Structure 1
Amino acid sequence: MKKSKDENTEEHILEAAKLVFQSKGMDGARMQEIADQAGINKAMLHYYYRSKQLLFEAVFHNAFMLLAPQLKTVLNDDSSIEEKIKNFTSNYISFIVKHPYIPNFIIQELNRNPDFLIKMKENPNFPNLKKFRNQLNQEIESGIIIPISAEQLFINIMALNVFPFVAQPLLKAFTNTDNNTYKQLMKDRKTEAANFIINAIKLN
């Protein structure tokens, strides 16, 4: 019972911290506010996490590691580059629709503390482009895809999928769309963004 209770308490703390960090950022968040949100006292919060930095790192790690394995899976499977682009776009957008806070949270805090990413890169689930690069080069040599670096293609894929979520208020204003209409636009991007990229790089 004690173990179950401890796990439940920690889950409440991490969920409360996620909400506070999401709205206030690392610098603006206060441990007392997180404790209040979790429904515990500050002493108990410090029992689980001795400092705001340690708590933030736990929240950040949870958020990033929800996304990273999905990226790694798509990059390292045996599907073609075309299928990778389709799968990445569909999986990413479906995931972010369910977890809309993640892109802004990750980008905001990586800009604040870029050195923190060094720790994340040590995780075995951190994505890498090695297999993606090899497959891309093979398809270029086979005349399937135009010459393009793996880095540039990956940046294009990320930009077309990430930007509509991190710039949502701006894009909603530009396109004069309400929440429901914009959600539908994001669902449509599962195929729109993928087709745009594929049509730009395929030779045939």
Structure 2
Amino acid sequence: MARTKDENTEGQILDAAKKVFQSKGMDGARMQEIADKAGINKAMLHYYYRSKQLLFEAVFKNAFSLLAPQLNAILNDDSSIEDKIRNFTSDYLTFIIKHPYLPNFIIQELNRNPDFIAKLKENTGFPNLEKFKLQVAYEVEHGSIKPISAEQLFINIMALNIFPFVAKPLIMAFTDTDSTTFKQLMEDRKTEVSNFIINAIKPA
């Protein structure tokens, strides 16, 4: 019973932390607020997570463990390149709209701790590009898409999907949009990004 109780408490903490990080960001989040939202005292929170950084990493890893296998499945299924682009973009954006802190956290962690991604790669389900590389090379060889390496195509997909969230304040300022409008723009990008990339690789 004690073990179940511990797991339930940890789940409550991670859920509360996710909500606070989403609304306040890493810098604005406070451990006391997270403890209050989880229904525990601050001492109990520190018993599970000694620092805000460790708690943030736990929230990230929990979310990434849900996203990574989903994206890996898309990259390694038997669908066409076009469907992969559409499905990858749609699934990624849907997930990041719900977890907007993730892209900035990755950038932050890479700058602070270059070994962070190496640790993530050890997890089961981390995206593997080998089948995607073979598929892109085959399509290029047979003239189905313009000459492009799988690495460059994947970088294009990731860059167009990630950048708006990393540069959210800048984009909102340039486009004079509020949070609600920005969220709708991100929903629209599920189609816009896919169409842009697919049209860019279609043979003339």
> Structure 1 CA distance, aligned partners of 2:19 and 2:98?
15
Q: Which moved more, 1:90-99 or 1:123-132?
A: 90-99
* CA contact 1:89–1:194 (8 Å) conserved in 2: yes
Q: Which moved more, 1:39-48 or 1:125-134?
A: 39-48
Equivalent residue number for residue 180 of structure 1: 180
Letter of the 1:187 partner, please give it: E
Instruction: Report Cα offsets for 1:45-83 as digits up to 9, x if no partner.
Output: 344346666544422311322321122111111111111
Letter of the 2:171 partner, please give it: L
Letter of the 2:134 partner, please give it: N
* CA contact 1:75–1:84 (8 Å) conserved in 2: yes
Equivalent residue number for residue 128 of structure 1: 128
Unaligned runs of 5+ in 1: none
TM-score (norm 1): 0.85
Letter of the 1:165 partner, please give it: F
TM-score (norm 2): 0.85
1:7 is the counterpart of 2:7: yes
> Structure 1 CA distance, aligned partners of 2:130 and 2:181?
38
Equivalent residue number for residue 168 of structure 2: 168
The sequence identity of aligned pairs, in percent, is 74
* CA contact 2:21–2:101 (8 Å) conserved in 1: no
Letter of the 1:101 partner, please give it: Y
Tell me by how many angstroms 1:33 deviates. 6.3
* CA contact 1:103–1:162 (8 Å) conserved in 2: yes
Equivalent residue number for residue 95 of structure 1: 95
1:48 is the counterpart of 2:14: no
1:72 is the counterpart of 2:93: no
Residues 184 and 203 from structure 1, CA distance in 2 versus in 1: closer, same or farther, beyond 3 angstroms? Answer: same
Give 3-state SS (helix, strand or coil) of 2:79's partner. coil
Tell me by how many angstroms 1:172 deviates. 1.3
> Structure 1 CA distance, aligned partners of 2:95 and 2:14?
20
Tell me by how many angstroms 1:118 deviates. 1.3
Equivalent residue number for residue 202 of structure 2: 202
Equivalent residue number for residue 113 of structure 2: 113
Residues 35 and 178 from structure 1, CA distance in 2 versus in 1: closer, same or farther, beyond 3 angstroms? Answer: closer
> Structure 1 CA distance, aligned partners of 2:162 and 2:5?
37
> Structure 2 CA distance, aligned partners of 1:42 and 1:134?
51
> Structure 1 CA distance, aligned partners of 2:54 and 2:108?
17
Residues 35 and 132 from structure 1, CA distance in 2 versus in 1: closer, same or farther, beyond 3 angstroms? Answer: same
Output the aligned Cα RMSD: 2.5
1:82 is the counterpart of 2:82: yes
Residues 172 and 76 from structure 1, CA distance in 2 versus in 1: closer, same or farther, beyond 3 angstroms? Answer: same
Instruction: Report Cα offsets for 1:107-154 as digits up to 9, x if no partner.
Output: 222322121211111112111210100000000011011111111110
Letter of the 1:202 partner, please give it: K
> Structure 2 CA distance, aligned partners of 1:32 and 1:43?
9
